[in-house]
Amino acid sequence: MTRTALIAALPGELRSIVRAWRHERRNGVDLWFHRDENLYVAACAGAGQQAATRAFAAVEQDAPIDLVFSLGWAGALTADIPSGTAHNVAGVIDVRTGERFRCDAGAGDLWLVTSPRVAGRTEKLRLAAAYSAALVDMEAAAIARLAAMRGIPFYAIKGVSDSLHANLPDLNRFLTPAGHFQTGKFALSALCQPWHWPALVQMGENSRKASQSIAKSLRDFLL
């Protein structure tokens, strides 16, 4: 029996996958479990590499895993990637260290960069130019590194929640050091910035579609 880990930052990224799975919470990490001929464990602990490391550790608490997926939302670094779509990435680049991790066989041809911050438009343009990458997230490099240390296959499927030119507020202001998003603080701030409302509404719709696209891509990949 194969034990597969699915790691994301936020529950919303996994909602379309884990809807009917058993859920529990351990030490600040949300976990979901599903068993058919194989065992699947999904986890999220917040945004960023430290949170992804905590999620990975929680998944391994019961038993070693055989392969791992980094799932979740990502920002587009080029204008030709439609929002709401999901992509199997070819590899991940850690912006902090310069490390490059290739996904295992069967992955796509787009590269993803992992940044320590939520990337706005200016930063997206810089990352695209510096790394020739198409997507940006905050967690995948940590998961790729841990998979490499254990010698297990690593894959990443990312759904596009925000386009290159999305006019969004600085979301970094609402992330705690532990990687948790302060929804109440964000909502209050957004109420005072109506010029961001159209982009925020669009991001919400894109995120919903992206989660569904991630779930479909994962099912297709595992078949």
Mean pLDDT by 10 residues, the chain (223 residues): 94 94 95 94 97 96 94 95 95 96 83 95 94 96 97 96 85 79 77 78 89 94 81
Q: Residue 106's pLDDT is what?
A: 64
Q: Residue 23's pLDDT is what?
A: 97
Q: List, in sequence order, every beta strand (DSSP E) within the chain.
A: 3-8, 22-26, 29-35, 39-44, 67-76, 86-94, 100-102, 110-114, 135-137, 154-162
Backbone phi and psi for residue 120, each to the nearest 5 degrees, phi listed first:
-85, -175
Q: Residue 76's pLDDT is what?
A: 96
Q: Residue 124's pLDDT is what?
A: 95
Q: How many domains does the chain have?
A: 1
Domain that residue 36 falls in: 3-222
- CATH number, position 136: 3.40.50.1580
